[in-house]
A and B are shown apart, each in its own frame.
Chain A
Amino acid sequence: MIRRFLHNPLAQALLILVVSAALGALVNAARPKPVPWDSKPAFDILPHLPLAESLEAFDAGDCLFIDARPVEFFQQGHILNAISVPLTAPEAEVLDAVQKDHPYRRLIIYCEDENCDAADAMARRMKRMGYANLFVLEGGWLAWSKANLPAQ
């Protein structure tokens, strides 16, 4: 009877779903840092800085803007005095571009707009590398340039 049941593709699919769910739940429970079952994110979400606050920080001159887009995008236009550290840059290049004992109060990372993941991913990457005071510019380069804020 079980053999007959298992000849049905629907039954096979159900069995696979049950086995996968059980394995997933068991292995997750055994992880040192399990993925939460509730709505808590499983990864660090770094603070996003609204445009107005980013401009205040820019005017105060105590922050460094980091452009996480590919170099070609940076060359076409970027926030004034920002440095280019693409998401794909090797770790040595990141360490070279931004010293760990930098004098800035904030490191503000941005990518193209709100539809890109490079700024968030870069912020998380830099946090893993030991950097602190990391922020993501809300709306990215597009919001900054649309507001006619200082650029080059």
Chain B
Amino acid sequence: MEQGESAGTVNASSPETPARGTDSPWKLWTERVLRWGLGVIFVYAAYSKILDAPSFAEEISYYHMLPMQQVNWMAIFLPWLELVCGICLLTGFSWRGAMWLVIAMLIMFTYAIGHAVHEGRDIRCGCFGHGESAERVGYVAIGRDLVMIATAVVALFLRRSRN
């Protein structure tokens, strides 16, 4: 059983009115499904960036938002942060902390893509995978990030118990 789901998530005596601090099964499973979904997405997003960090650095540099040194630091750390957060969301270990970090990352990504779109840049997004035909920045990427932020917030606040 995952961390944080061990104790009394359903009130057996009165299933329709869960006791204070417990969650109904649908909330538990909705939170799990949303969390697993985000976990899979983040592990998938991290995979190609870890394999080819220089290409990821190149993609970050096209945003023209950071000096080269910070571009390099991002290329070194960000994919691992995505991977560790993804694994935490999948396993349930420290998932609340991971979810807050995922929200912070998604806000940062949305801002960066929005900034690039606002400046009229026609660049690769650097979101999932590299290569010449990789996804480009645009409203689709912004919309997807906003949906993921909403998903993360729902998953985080769906369950009342803070175990």
What is the 8 Å Cβ interface bit string for chain B, positions 101-114, against chain A (1 contact, 0 not)?
10000000000000
A42 touches B94 (CB 8 A): no
What is the 8 Å Cβ interface bit string for chain A, positions 115-152, against chain B (1 contact, 0 not)?
11110111011000000000000000000000000000
Contacts of A88 in B (CB 8 A): 132-133
Contacts of A87 in B (CB 8 A): 132
**Stretch of B9-17, B80-88, B141-149 at the chain-chain interface:** B80-88
A16 touches B85 (CB 8 A): yes
A115 touches B121 (CB 8 A): yes
Q: Is the interface of B mostly helix, strand, loop or mixed?
A: helix
Q: Which of A21, A42, A116, A118 touches B75 (beta carbons < 8 Å)?
A: A42
**Stretch of A26-34, A49-57, A75-83, A98-106 at the chain-chain interface:** A26-34
Contacts of A12 in B (CB 8 A): 88, 94-98
When A43-B54, A117-B124 are in contact, do A9 and B100 touch as well, CB less than 8 Å? yes
- Asked if B39 is at the interface (CB within 8 A of a chain A CB), the reply is no
B122 touches A35 (CB 8 A): no
What is the 8 Å Cβ interface bit string for chain A, positions 77-96, against chain B (1 contact, 0 not)?
00000000001110000000
Contacts of B96 in A (CB 8 A): 9, 12
Contacts of B163 in A (CB 8 A): 7
A115 touches B75 (CB 8 A): no
Q: Is the interface of A mostly helix, strand, loop or mixed?
A: helix
Interface size class of A (residues with CB under 8 A): 35 or more
When A21-B77, A24-B80 are in contact, do A9 and B68 touch as well, CB less than 8 Å? no
Contacts of A36 in B (CB 8 A): 72
- Asked if B50 is at the interface (CB within 8 A of a chain A CB), the reply is yes
- Asked if B129 is at the interface (CB within 8 A of a chain A CB), the reply is no
- Asked if A19 is at the interface (CB within 8 A of a chain B CB), the reply is yes
- Asked if B73 is at the interface (CB within 8 A of a chain A CB), the reply is yes
B84 touches A19 (CB 8 A): yes
B80 touches A27 (CB 8 A): yes
What is the 8 Å Cβ interface bit string for chain A, positions 1-40, against chain B (1 contact, 0 not)?
0000011011111111101110111011001010111111
Instruction: Select from chain B the residue with minimum beta-carbon distance to A25.
Output: B76
List 6 additional A-B contacts (Cβ < 8 Å) besides A12-B97, A28-B53, A117-B124: A9-B100, A10-B100, A27-B80, A37-B76, A42-B54, A124-B58
Q: Could you write out 6 A-B pairs with CB less than 8 Å apart?
A: A9-B96, A23-B83, A39-B67, A43-B58, A117-B62, A118-B122
User: Which 5 pairs across A and B sit closest by C-beta, in order of nearness?
Assistant: A12-B97, A12-B94, A13-B97, A9-B96, A24-B80
